[in-house]
C-alpha cells in the first residue's frame, strides 16, 4: 500500500490489470507528462489495485478473515495456472487460444493426456530402488503412466545420466537423444 505510487512497484503488478500495449502507452504518457505512473492511471484501475491490496492485507490474518467475494478474488489473483503461465511468458498477458502448460506429478497425470508431454527426471537416482539398484514394478508402472500421456510427442529429460536404465524399456529406434 505504501509503495503503490512507486513506478517500479507498479510496473511489477500492472500486468495483472492491463495489457502489454496499455502498459507501454501508460509508461510513455507518464514519461511525457513527467508524472508518476500512478497519477496517469484511471480511477477504475487505482480502485482495483487498492481493493486487492486491502484483500491481501486481510489474507495475512488467515482465510477466515475474508468474505466469499474476497476469497474468490484472492484465489483468482493467485491461481497457480495463471502464475505459472505468467512466469513462462514473462508476465505478458495471455492471448485467447494461447498454449496452456500444465505441470503435474506422474501419478497425478493419470487420466490426463496432452499433445506434447515433457517427462522430467528419468535419472536412475529417481527411478531405481536405492537398495537393489533395480527398477521396481511400481516405478515401471509410474513410468508407463507418464509416457502414455502423450498424443503426439514425448520428450524425456535426464538431468544427470546419459543412459538411464529406464530407457531399456523403450525401443531404441523410437529414441532420438540430444545431449547438452
Residue spans of the domains in the chain: they are: 7-88, 107-174
**Whole-number average pLDDT of the chain:** 80
Neighbouring CB atoms inside 10 A of 41's CB total 22
End-to-end CA distance of the chain: 45
According to the CATH classification, is domain 107-174 in 1.10.10?
A: no
Phi-psi region of 129 (alpha: psi -120 to 50; beta: other; left: phi over 0): beta
Residue with cell 505504501: 2
Mean pLDDT of successive 10-residue stretches along the chain, which has 180 residues? 71 81 91 91 90 77 74 68 55 52 80 86 90 92 92 88 91 79
pLDDT, tens digit (0-9, with 9 covering 90-100), for 4-36: 677 777 877 787 788 888 989 999 999 999 999
Contacts of 98 (CB under 8 A, 6+ apart): 85, 89
Amino acid at each position: 500500500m505504501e509503495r503503490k505510487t512507486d513506478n517500479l512497484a507498479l510496473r511489477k503488478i500492472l500486468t495483472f490489470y492491463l495489457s502489454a500495449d496499455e502498459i507501454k502507452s501508460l509508461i510513455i504518457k507518464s514519461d511525457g507528462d513527467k508524472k508518476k505512473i500512478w497519477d496517469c492511471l484511471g480511477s477504475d484501475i487505482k480502485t482495483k489495485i487498492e481493493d486487492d491490496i486491502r484483500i491481501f492485507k486481510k489474507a495475512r490474518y488467515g482465510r477466515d478473515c475474508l468474505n466469499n467475494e474476497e476469497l474468490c478474488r484472492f484465489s483468482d489473483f493467485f491461481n497457480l495456472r495463471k502464475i505459472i503461465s505468467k512466469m513462462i511468458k514473462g508476465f505478458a498477458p495471455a492471448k485467447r487460444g494461447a498454449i496452456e502448460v500444465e505441470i503435474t506429478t506422474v501419478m497425478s497425470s493419470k487420466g490426463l493426456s496432452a499433445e506434447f508431454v515433457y517427462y522430467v527426471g528419468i535419472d536412475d537416482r529417481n527411478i531405481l530402488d536405492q537398495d537393489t539398484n533395480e527398477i521396481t514394478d511400481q516405478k515401471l508402472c509410474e513410468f508407463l503412466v507418464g509416457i502414455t500421456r502423450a498424443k503426439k510427442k514425448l520428450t524425456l529429460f535426464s538431468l544427470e545420466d546419459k543412459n538411464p536404465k529406464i530407457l531399456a524399456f523403450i525401443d531404441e529406434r523410437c529414441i532420438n537423444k540430444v545431449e547438452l
